[in-house]
């Protein structure tokens, strides 16, 4: 009995979700082009990293070699982006890494991925709130932080908590959580203005840095450091604050450690994958959009970090507001305010774009119910609602704003019988509001847009997981009036506010990076497994062949791997199970994937994941001993490398799927495996405090998942 229960429990953990991948059936308007998706990725990625993160990494970890740290982080992100791109081509459905894991490797891994995505979005909100607070604090000469340090500072807890509780960040997140819970939508026009301001400021920083920069700052000596500090320091203090000087003062270890932190700066491109149901041609636009946005962001990060370290010695950088400090150092004081405005604009646009349209559709459903009541009393409002219904709002941005202001004027009791008059008033209002926000972006007028977008993904992922039964069902409830998951929004907002209140920015950044790296690793694993499996996830107009013998009871439902549904056998023929032989590892029985070859790849991928983890632990923890030629450590590295190569060879010998896609990850199986190795190695570079926080988060998630599965909560049979 116990054995059967354990077997049943294991099958529940490994069951997979099947879905219809047809592009035709979607509740969203297909209106996004490749250019839209590229702009979406740039707007979602180019944020706190360039304005805040660069100072911390350059000062404490990499020095001028931060440009190499950004390069390594960019390469890791591009590898993950290519894996996302193939999934976008395979599964033109909204869902991102959570859905990808669910349809490929099973429920337990999908939960881990989704749980880490929630962590990433929560930490993303908290870290942007901290960055916003720090940037605002720098504009008021650090009076806010000074007050909290004097009156509310935490006792010395090492690196567990921040120096002081950031009440400003907590209030900011809670305020926007309340607004978001009641269905507040953001203005795309003002968001675009913020993005333009951000890009203009970055261009100004790069040009200024190369004009006013001094190449001597890339070749500093210990004497330069001592002369600039005017303090008597011990050798240990000099090594900690300055390193050894030169271009890479903290060595290769510092560059790699900086790359692990810089990975945070590229988090956000995966938002493109969540727009699959809104793209005109997702199988083409998503791969191009992901790669193009990552390249654009890398150029910006590389240019700004190079300019920053050329303008000012790296050890003099401010870890909270590095760019204003750099311009003060070169005596361009007015420029520091321009840069601060750009920083606030960047933090205000982070993650905003990708989740606007889903709220438009929910909002329109509510507004359209008014159509018949206002047909005669408010003809312009009636006309705009009719056009919206026909054109599927989102294709016409002007129409969206006309409808928005029509609703506002309708609620105020104003009547407009001529569309031209409404359009003129619309242009005046938006122009004035945009100018005010651009000029006074460091004040309260910016709060309506700051962080709002970074909070949108949290309830969306929580809602999806709750609907699938992996989180409490109550989190999937939609409010009748606002049409938003209010409880999911409030809970996630409270967690984000608490983290912004208690933890420093660098701790939040590292925790977000480690969770995202794990999610990206699982996506690479999914791609590797999927390319060697028989059948397809689904195809347009073609009967679907699932990877396991299973049958959906309804569209989007979960299926047990061993369901044994007889009706499923009527739809497709079950292949005979092939007997395993050792020679099949290197000499498959056929040229196309079958159940045996798919199972071999599935198992070997699990083995190589363990080998990569052990190898990365040895290289990160005992790297110095390996470099010095320690026989024991060299032997361990060689053995693990040899075993990994054998596993790679076995995977390479298996037949790949012949399914035709608009984009496939090249150089299989090497590229996904390289992505896995790089991501795992970067994860191992984080300190023990980050791993402690991450372990606590994962333990909480695993306890909840075990309770949910054992109680059979929310399972669709």
- Per-residue pLDDT for 19 more than 80? no
As a whole-number percent, the residues of the chain with pLDDT over 70 amount to: 62
pLDDT for residue 681 = 92
Residue the block writes with tokens 């420029």: 335
Q: Which two tokens stand for residue 549?
A: 């013998």
Cα–Cα distance, 186 to 196 (Å, whole number): 17
Partners of 16 in the beta sheet?
559
Mean of pLDDT over the chain: 71
Q: Give the pLDDT confidence of 378-390 residue by residue, as tens digits.
A: 455 455 545 544 4
Cα–Cα distance, 644 to 8 (Å, whole number): 32
- The confidence band for 674, taking pLDDT boundaries of 50, 70 and 90, is very high
Q: Give the pLDDT confidence of 487-535 residue by residue, as tens digits.
A: 877 888 888 888 888 887 777 778 888 888 888 898 888 888 888 888 6
Q: What is the mean pLDDT of residues 248-267?
A: 86
Distances (CA, A) of 440 to 131, 190, 443: 18, 13, 6
Residues 6+ apart with CB under 8 A from 209: 303, 304, 306, 307, 308, 310, 311, 326
Evaluate whether 589 touches 582 at the Cβ level (below 8 Å). Answer: no
- Per-residue pLDDT for 588 more than 60? yes
pLDDT for residue 48 = 62
Highest mean pLDDT among 90-99, 146-155, 375-384: 146-155
More confident residue, 550 or 696: 696
Least confident of 168-177, 231-240, 692-701: 231-240
Q: Which two tokens stand for residue 12?
A: 């529940």
Evaluate whether 385 touches 370 at the Cβ level (below 8 Å). Answer: yes
- Per-residue pLDDT for 647 more than 80? yes
Evaluate whether 585 touches 601 at the Cβ level (below 8 Å). Answer: no
- Per-residue pLDDT for 75 more than 80? yes
- Per-residue pLDDT for 201 more than 70? yes
pLDDT for residue 649 = 94
Helix, strand or coil, per DSSP, at residue 559: strand
- Per-residue pLDDT for 658 more than 90? no
Residue the block writes with tokens 């409490």: 472
Q: Give the pLDDT confidence of 310-336 residue by residue, as tens digits.
A: 998 888 887 777 877 888 888 887 776
Q: Is beta strand 16-17 parallel, antiparallel or unpaired with respect to 558-559?
A: antiparallel
DSSP state of 49: I
pLDDT for residue 47 = 65
Domains and CATH numbers, the chain: 29-352+451-525 (1.20.1740.10), 358-448 (no CATH), 531-564+581-686 (no CATH)
- Per-residue pLDDT for 6 more than 60? no
- Per-residue pLDDT for 149 more than 70? yes
More confident residue, 507 or 207: 207
> 0.85 exceeded by the pTM?
no
Q: What is the mean pLDDT of residues 596-603?
A: 88
Highest mean pLDDT among 106-110, 424-428, 684-688: 684-688
pLDDT for residue 676 = 93
Alpha helices in 531-558 (DSSP H): none
Q: What is the mean pLDDT of residues 116-142?
A: 77
Q: What is the mean pLDDT of residues 204-226?
A: 85
């Amino acid at each position: 009995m116990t054995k059967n229960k354990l077997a049943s429990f294991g099958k529940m953990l490994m069951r997979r979700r099947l879905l219809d991948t047809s592009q035709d059936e979607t509740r969203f308007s297909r209106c996004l082009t490749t250019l839209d998706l590229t702009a979406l990725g740039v707007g979602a990625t180019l944020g706190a990293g360039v304005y805040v993160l660069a100072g911390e990494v350059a000062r404490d970890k990499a020095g001028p070699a931060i440009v190499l740290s950004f390069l390594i982080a960019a390469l890791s992100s591009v590898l993950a982006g290519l894996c996302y791109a193939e999934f976008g081509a395979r599964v033109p459905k909204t869902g991102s890494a959570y859905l990808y894991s669910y349809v490929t490797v099973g429920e337990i891994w999908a939960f881990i991925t989704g749980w880490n995505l929630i962590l990433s979005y929560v930490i993303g909100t908290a870290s942007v709130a901290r960055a916003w607070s720090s940037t605002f604090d720098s504009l008021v000469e650090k009076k806010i932080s000074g007050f909290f340090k004097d009156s509310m500072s935490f006792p010395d807890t090492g690196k567990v908590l921040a120096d002081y509780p950031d009440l400003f960040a907590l209030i900011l997140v809670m305020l926007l959580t309340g607004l978001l819970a009641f269905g507040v939508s953001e203005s795309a026009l003002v968001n675009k203005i913020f993005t333009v301001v951000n890009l203009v400021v970055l261009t100004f920083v790069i040009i200024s840095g190369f004009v006013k920069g001094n190449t001597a700052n890339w070749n500093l000596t210990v004497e330069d450091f001592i002369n600039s500090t005017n303090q008597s320091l011990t050798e240990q203090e000099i090594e900690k604050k300055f390193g050894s000087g030169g271009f890479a003062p903290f060595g290769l270890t510092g560059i790699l450690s900086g790359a692990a932190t810089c990975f945070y700066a590229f988090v956000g491109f995966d938002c493109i994958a969540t727009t699959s149901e809104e793209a005109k041609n997702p199988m083409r636009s998503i791969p191009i959009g992901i790669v193009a946005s990552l390249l654009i962001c890398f150029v910006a990060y590389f240019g700004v970090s190079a300019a920053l370290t050329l303008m000012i010695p790296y050890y003099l950088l401010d870890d909270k507001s590095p760019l204003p400090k750099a311009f003060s150092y070169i005596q361009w004081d007015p420029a520091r305010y321009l840069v601060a405005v750009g920083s606030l604009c960047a933090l205000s646009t982070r993650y905003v774009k990708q989740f606007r349209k889903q709220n438009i559709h929910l909002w329109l459903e509510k507004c359209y119910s008014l159509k018949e009541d206002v047909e005669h009393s408010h003809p312009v409002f009636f006309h705009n609602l009719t056009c919206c219904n026909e054109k599927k709002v989102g294709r016409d941005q002007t129409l969206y704003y006309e409808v928005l202001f029509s609703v506002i004027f309708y609620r105020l009791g104003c009547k407009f019988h001529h569309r031209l008059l409404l359009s003129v008033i619309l242009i005046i209002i938006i122009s004035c509001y945009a100018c005010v926000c651009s000029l006074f972006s460091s004040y309260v007028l910016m709060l309506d847009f700051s962080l709002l977008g970074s909070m949108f993904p949290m309830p969306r992922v929580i809602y999806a997981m709750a609907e699938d039964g992996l989180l409490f069902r109550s989190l999937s409830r939609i409010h009748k009036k606002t049409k938003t998951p209010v409880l999911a929004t409030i809970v996630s907002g409270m967690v984000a506010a608490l983290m912004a209140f208690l933890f420093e920015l660098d701790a939040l950044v590292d925790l977000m990076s480690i969770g995202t790296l794990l999610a990206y690793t699982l996506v690479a694993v999914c791609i590797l497994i999927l390319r060697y499996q028989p059948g397809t996830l689904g195809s347009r107009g073609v009967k679907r062949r699932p990877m396991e013998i299973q049958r959906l009871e309804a569209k989007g439902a979960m299926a047990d791997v061993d369901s044994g549904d007889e009706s499923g056998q009527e739809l497709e023929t079950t292949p005979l199970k092939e007997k395993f032989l050792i020679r099949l590892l290197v000499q498959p029985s056929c040229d196309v994937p079958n159940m045996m070859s798919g199972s071999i790849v599935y198992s070997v991928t699990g083995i190589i994941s363990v080998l990569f983890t052990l190898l990365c632990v040895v290289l990160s923890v005992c790297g110095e001993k390996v470099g010095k030629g320690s026989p024991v450590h060299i032997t361990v590295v060689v053995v693990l490398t040899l075993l990994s190569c054998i596993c790679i060879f076995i995977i390479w010998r298996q037949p790949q799927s012949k399914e035709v896609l608009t984009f496939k990850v090249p150089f299989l199986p090497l590229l996904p495996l390289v992505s896995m190795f790089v991501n795992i190695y970067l994860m191992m570079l984080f300190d023990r405090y980050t791993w402690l926080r991450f372990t606590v988060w994962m333990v909480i998630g695993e306890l909840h998942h075990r309770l949910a599965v054992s109680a059979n909560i929310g399972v669709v049979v």
